[in-house]
Structure 1
Amino acid sequence: MAELVTGEAVALDIRVARLASRGCAFLLDLFFQAVMLYLVVYVTAMTSLVADEAWTVGLTLVGMVAVLVGYPCLFETLLRGRTMGKMAVGLRVVGDDGGPIRFRQALVRALAGFIEFWTFYGSPALITSFCNRRGKRLGDLFAGTIVIQERAPSMMLYGPVAVMPPQLAWWARTLEISMLSDELAMTARQYLSRFWELLPEVRDSLGQRIASQVVEVISPPPPPGVRPEILLSAVLAERRHREEVRLAERRARRMRRLGLPVWGPGPAPAPVPAPAMAMAGPPAYGPVRPGPPAPPPFSAPAPGRPQFLPPANYGAGPYREVLNAPPPPNPYPGPDQPPRGPYLPQGR
């Protein structure tokens, strides 16, 4: 841990990057640079087929300098102090005042790093990092920067930043927080997320100032003697809970309009009366399947269209003997088995 004084004269406790993590980030960046150098050499080798040797050597030197110097300078400027290796390990380069790194500082670090890492097998950077209290190398000393550990254990790894305190749950349910702006809520959330990174005196003064701004726009006032971080945690937790309920109700209404089943909180639908068959009990062989829909009532056909009606007697006509004839008897009855069938005579 090291103390860093920001431009607003606020002292912050920061985690300085260790030598092992910086070495891992350097090896990852070196791998990416090696891949880029391979592509540059391949392209320059292809140009040697149509150009002379001096042109090929010049392109190779320009490509090597662009990869070794331009890669860290460009990435640290565009990604606010991070390269691909630093992003994977969780490191960031910031100024000595805690501000983001500028292009001039990134260029100085890249030029100094080209000399440090590629002369005497990187021993100048290694010796300077061991001797400096903040682990700075020559490029950091020249540019006025420091490498910090950005990815560190915090409250967000174990749960939400704002948790409802049990002693203030009854008060939070009666809050009127419609006047609480998003900017003020975000300020309170950032304060809670960095609560343990601040010095005790800075933590208390900053918390009192933010809590007083929050109390001015909410009602009723909080109970006396509540610490600012507990008050802010209760307000933010209640605000998040109400937003979740509002979003769930909106989603439920959208699902009902689309005719889809609703999963989650929302007003329950009206109960549907069960049919008389279902009230009598479950059927013997499973649920009863609904039958075919009833035919529509007969209506007069439209003018100009023929009318088709079923015959009154299905047994009448040329096939009435076949339709009305009884089924034939069982031709192979067993010796001790009576003939079967509802239409066969009882006996032999």
Structure 2
Amino acid sequence: MNKDQMDIKTPEYVSLQFQLAGLGSRAAAFIYDQVILGFASILLFFGSLFVMKGMSSFPFFQDENLVPLAIIVIVLFILKWCYFFACEFFSGGRTIGKKIVGIRVIQENGHSITLLSSFIRNLLRIIDALPTSYFLGIVMILLHSKHKRLGDVVAGTIVVHERKAKPKKKRSPIEKEIQRRGLSQASLTVDEFALKSYTSKDWKLISTYVSRFHDLPLVERNQLTKQIAEILLPKIGMEVEGSNEQDLENTLLVLYLLLKEEWEFEL
């Protein structure tokens, strides 16, 4: 096996294979992110100076008072740290730079990065940046068998190349059914935290349901729909009781679209 590939067996006994991101792709993503942060920092800095200049009549904003300038510096630091932390957690382990390059951060068990993992790996950027220009982080990535910097080691994360869905020449029967019903991802609003509560076991359950959707007799399909809905829909705060079979089917089909983006990949 290629040393840059990693096989993971999830707690649900699903085998996944990832291609580890090396120094080159990680550095490219970091450069993109730094350019974005640089522009944002410049705008924020000069915007703040402009505001301070307009408020120069107030004692707190006098030229000899360095406190406002210190506040700006602190805000810029928080902006830089929060950018990586928030992007990685709320965007599936991807900053804008990582999206451009095609890499993402995940946990070592193959699941999406958690709030705690994102917090730890980005907090330790301070150490990885020592003594200058991320020297320690670069050395760690080069020497570690899984291309990890210190933040990844402590947080239990890895950086991998995106796995893209297999291109299809024509739409599958279920895709035609979803289109016929006028459904899309926008048809169901799901909180990001709730969506992250689904596991690969849940994905396997709903993908099996979708694959059998047209093969089952109507009575059996209605029974299966209700059973699966009772398992999956409470995770997003939806009540099953009182909903008819058509509404449950539509909800499960849209949930399938949302989970498919996270779980259905091909190297």
What TM-score do you get using the length of structure 1 for normalisation?
0.45
**Paired amino acid for 2:34:** L
Say if 2:22 is the partner of 1:13.
no
2: distance between equivalents of 1:4 and 1:161? 31
Sequence identity percentage: 23
Deviation string, structure 1 residues 251-290 (Cα, Å, up to 9, x no partner): xxxxxxxxxxxxxxxxxxxxxxxxxxxxxxxxxxxxxxxx
CA contact (8 A) 1:92 1:148 kept: yes
Aligned twin of 1:307 = none
Structure 1 residue 113 displacement after superposition: 1.6
2:162 to 150, 153, 163: 150
1: distance between equivalents of 2:69 and 2:214? 70
**Paired amino acid for 2:31:** L
Say if 2:113 is the partner of 1:101.
yes
Deviation string, structure 1 residues 177-233 (Cα, Å, up to 9, x no partner): 89xx97xxxxxxxxxxxxxxxxxxxxxxx9xx959x7499369xxxxxxxxxxxxxx
1:125 to 109, 115, 137: 137
Deviation string, structure 1 residues 303-348 (Cα, Å, up to 9, x no partner): xxxxxxxxxxxxxxxxxxxxxxxxxxxxxxxxxxxxxxxxxxxxxx
After superposition, the Cα gap between the structure-2 partners of 1:66 and 1:216, relative to the gap in structure 1 and judged at 3 Å, is: closer
Matched residue SS, 1:37 = helix
2:152 to 140, 161, 164: 140
Larger % of helix: which?
2
2: distance between equivalents of 1:59 and 1:215? 58
Structure 1 residue 83 displacement after superposition: 0.5
Say if 2:55 is the partner of 1:43.
no
The runs of 4+ residues in structure 1 deviating greater than 2 Å are 46-50, 52-55, 117-121, 159-163, 213-219
What TM-score do you get using the length of structure 2 for normalisation?
0.57
Pairs aligned (count): 176
CA contact (8 A) 1:72 1:83 kept: yes
1:160 to 149, 161, 169: 169
Of structures 1 and 2, the larger Rg is shown by: 1
| CA-based RMSD | 3.1
2: distance between equivalents of 1:145 and 1:217? 40
Aligned twin of 2:193 = none
Q: Give 5+ residue unaligned stretches, structure 1.
A: 164-176, 183-205, 220-348
**Paired amino acid for 1:217:** D
Structure 1 residue 9 displacement after superposition: 2.4
2: distance between equivalents of 1:27 and 1:216? 48
Structure 1 residue 68 displacement after superposition: 1.9
CA contact (8 A) 2:104 2:162 kept: yes
1:69 to 61, 72, 81: 81
After superposition, the Cα gap between the structure-2 partners of 1:133 and 1:161, relative to the gap in structure 1 and judged at 3 Å, is: farther
Structure 1 residue 131 displacement after superposition: 1.5
Matched residue SS, 1:121 = coil
Matched residue SS, 1:92 = strand
Structure 1 residue 123 displacement after superposition: 1.3
After superposition, the Cα gap between the structure-2 partners of 1:47 and 1:59, relative to the gap in structure 1 and judged at 3 Å, is: farther
**Paired amino acid for 1:81:** G
Matched residue SS, 2:147 = coil
Matched residue SS, 1:119 = coil
Deviation string, structure 1 residues 157-188 (Cα, Å, up to 9, x no partner): xx43879xxxxxxxxxxxxx89xx97xxxxxx
CA contact (8 A) 2:16 2:110 kept: no
1:113 to 107, 125, 130: 125
CA contact (8 A) 1:45 1:56 kept: no
2: distance between equivalents of 1:43 and 1:109? 31
Structure 1 residue 111 displacement after superposition: 1.5
Deviation string, structure 1 residues 36-73 (Cα, Å, up to 9, x no partner): 11122213322442214233223222222122211101
2: distance between equivalents of 1:14 and 1:80? 15
**Paired amino acid for 1:54:** L
**Paired amino acid for 1:35:** F
CA contact (8 A) 2:104 2:159 kept: yes
Q: How does 1:229-240 map to 2 (within 5 A)?
A: none
Higher relative contact order (CA 8 A, sep 6+): 2
